[in-house]
Amino acid sequence: MAPVAPRSGDAIFASVERVNSELFTLTYGAIVRQLLTDLEEVDEVNKQLDQMGYNIGVRLVDEFLAKSNVSRCVDFKETTEVIAKVGFKMFLGVTASVTNWDADGTSCSLILEDNPLVDFVELPDTCQGLYYCNIISGVIRGALEMVSMKTEVSWIRDMLRGDDVFELHVKLLKQVPEEYPYKDDE
């Protein structure tokens, strides 16, 4: 029998080694700060953060799968639930909730009420267009791509912009079937 996927990441969170959250938050802050200095344009920083997140996500998915014992999800709904309850808990120490499903079950919102990345952060006037946590959307996009789901992930609500929660919109574009990778004439 396949092991039943855990419905909460608490046990895994308790068993993995952690770093001081302040160190983590400030390190992330330093990266964003440096990107703002280097790239100057806020839009470019958003893009770069998303790309960095993507690169993290394609690796993180293996760690997630190895430690969580999740073998497969039956549908996209279960996938998002696992991300919200297990994935976020494992790597950020918080959980998210999933809402706002559309009719055909291909897009939804992940609501984060608590986000350790934004402790100490206030957006100055010069950075109003900055999606400070854009790395998270990149991670989700990268990780899902590795399990053959092309997605589009974007921020809808952001506490740094005065909203009451963080809301990430995840839209499933396409599931990529597994093909035989070699050509016959190779």
Partner 1 sequence: MQFFGGSEISPSPPLPTASGNNGHMMYVFNRNGICLLYREWNRPLHTLNAQQDHKLMFGLLFSLKSLTAKMDPTSVDKGNLGVPQLPGQGCSFHSFRTNTYKLSFMESPSGIKIILVTHPRTGDLRESLKYIYNLYVEYVVKNPLYTPGTPIRCELFDSTLDQYFRSHLIHMVELAKLMVAHHPSFPVTILITTATKPDNSTATDNQSRLIHHSCHHLPPPPSPDSTL
Q: Does 180 bind partner 1 (CB under 8 A)?
A: yes
| The residue type at 86 | V
Span interacting with partner 1, options 14-22, 30-38, 92-100, 153-161, rule CB under 8 A:
14-22
Both tokens of residue 46? 């958003």
Span 45-74, contacts to partner 1 by CB under 8 A: 58-59, 61-63, 65-67, 70-73
Binding mask 120-159 for partner 1 (x = CB under 8 A): --------------------------xxx-----------
* CB nearer partner 1, residue 83 or residue 159: 83
Q: Does 181 bind partner 1 (CB under 8 A)?
A: yes
Which ranges constitute the DSSP H helices of 40-171?
42-68, 76-82, 88-92, 134-146
Which residue, 120, 95, 91, is CA-closest to 25?
120
**Dist CA 79 CA 77 (whole Å):** 5
Both tokens of residue 132? 């400070």
**Dist CA 29 CA 36 (whole Å):** 11
Number of residues in contact with partner 1 under rule CB under 8 A: 31
Both tokens of residue 97? 């909730």
Q: Does 27 bind partner 1 (CB under 8 A)?
A: no
Contact with partner 1 (CB under 8 A) among 1, 4, 20, 184: 20
Which residue, 6, 137, 24, is CA-closest to 67?
6
* Contact positions vs partner 1 (CB under 8 A): 14-20, 23, 58-59, 61-63, 65-67, 70-73, 146-148, 175-182
